[in-house]
Amino acid sequence: MKRIIILIILRINVAKSTVFAAGRGKQELEVAAGEAGLTVSALPKKYLGLPLTTKTMTRHDYDPLLVKIRNRLLSWTSKSLSFAGRLQLIKSVIASITNFWCSAFCLPQACIDEIDSMCSAFLWSGSPNITTRAKVAWEEVCCLKKEGGLGVQKIKEVSLVFALKLIWRLFTDSESLWGKWVKQTLLRGVSFWDVKEGSTGSWVWKKLLQLRPVAQRFLKMDIHDGKLVKFWTDIWHPIGRLIEIVGDRGRLKLGIAISACIADVLVENVWRFRRTRDTTVQNMIVKVQELGVELETNVQDEVLWKRKDDENGREFSAATTWEHIRCKRPVVVWSKLIWFAQGVPRYAFIAWLAVKDRLSTGSKMRAWGQVQCCVFCGEPDETRNHLFFACPYSYTLWLQVIGTLLRPPPSPD
């Protein structure tokens, strides 16, 4: 039986390829690329709408994002939208644009603040350039609807979720080219939790290292055969990383190498520990033995990500991660009265403003130097409660609409 072998050779198209050199060995790389006939260019460079740069992102780098958002908010299709329409534009279109950038970069705080300012101005005035008409603080707008807000996600929290996803990929995606490069070039055999923040690595890498305390709350190693989980440096025990509990001095007393895995210490399901008089080390040994770990042959160790307080999953969940890191507020009792499936969005938004007491009633217009009385009864002090309940016209309307459904009958107070 004959076998046919097809050999495919891939060649670089020199006319369509460009080499971008940065960091160490830049001059050598440029010389080698020139000898191969490749065009040599310098960073920063724009690719797929995103800037490629090795330095900290500056105003010049993220300015295209601001321009794109501003142009979208100033387009003719956005000028005649109601409050509810503007809110939907922010939550769908603008959020999609920012999420695309957040998936690649940790946006600077100055960039996030300017985007929030434009979105807030557009929501209340219809223009990203008019910032003096806000009725409700943007922090309150970014709360969930059940917590009294409008359900807009904070860009800072979304950016944090995408950064944590990169850390998750570093532990789980063995086929990732980025992950392989990080392990070989930046980690060099050192645990991600222990590598020092030095001069090596891009500014994005340094941001990820700063997020290690946050990532430790979510990552956990699930032990099976014990050949991948490091005894000292990985997070596999509920008390945390063991090296942080006993320190390097305690590790030396036990005589266990820093690179040792669980299978090296747990032999035939029996922990192999030296005797020591150190109280801290003894307490750690007791807690390790109480966990009751048993190795399973031919079953590889797994990395788990926190979903609920007492539940971990094998896949990263952006929704549950955001739920854990977001700023929470107490649930309000009136949210279901405003937001329900059959509700009209523009009317629900006005009702939400009424509950917040942010409507432009006469009492608020007086602070702006304008006089506005109740158009129904002529009451000079027109407040929210008067407009909806205490006004004779509104009260009569309540009686005619509701009738005797409420017992006792509705009160103007």
Helix (H, G, I), strand (E, B), or coil: what is residue 369?
coil
* Per-residue pLDDT tens digits for 81-98: 999 999 999 999 999 999
Question: What average pLDDT score do residues 97-105 get?
Answer: 90
What pLDDT score was predicted for residue 312? Answer: 87
Q: Give residue 158's pLDDT band: very low, low, confident or very high (50, 70, 90).
A: very high
Please provide the distance, in angstroms rounded to a whole number, between the alpha carbons at the two ends of the chain: 95
Helix boundaries (H) for 291-388: 318-325, 335-338, 345-355, 362-365, 384-385
In sequence order, what E strands does 276-394 have?
Answer: 302-308, 311-313
Q: What share of the chain is helix, strand, coil (3-state, %, to 5)?
A: 45, 10, 45
Please check the confidence at residue 180 and state whether its pLDDT lies above 70.
yes
Residues 6+ away with beta carbon under 8 Å from 287: 237, 239
Q: Note the pLDDT of residue 115.
A: 95
Question: Both tokens of residue 92?
Answer: 């769908």
Which of 126-130, 135-139, 398-402 comes out lowest in average pLDDT?
398-402
Give the start-to-end residue ranges of the domains of the chain: 14-42, 224-300, 359-402
Query: Within a 10 A sphere around the Cβ of 334, how many other Cβ atoms?
Result: 12
Identify which has the larger pLDDT, 409 or 376: 376
Q: Is the pLDDT of residue 363 over 60?
A: yes
Q: Which pLDDT value is given to residue 330?
A: 94
pLDDT given at position 406: 67
- Give me the phi and psi of 105, to 5 degrees please: -130, 155
Tokens of 96: 């999609």
pLDDT in tens, 1-48: 566 777 777 777 777 788 777 666 677 777 787 777 777 777 777 777
Beta bridge partners of 304: 220
Strand partners, 51: 46
The kind and range of the H/E element at 338 are: helix 335-338
- pTM here is 0.83
The mean-pLDDT minimum among 39-43, 118-122, 296-300 falls in: 39-43
Range 92-115 average pLDDT: 91
Residue 209 contacts residue 200 (beta carbons within 8 Å): no
pLDDT reading at 159 higher than 60: yes
Question: Is pLDDT larger for residue 9 or for residue 347?
Answer: 347
Rounded mean pLDDT of 346-356? 94
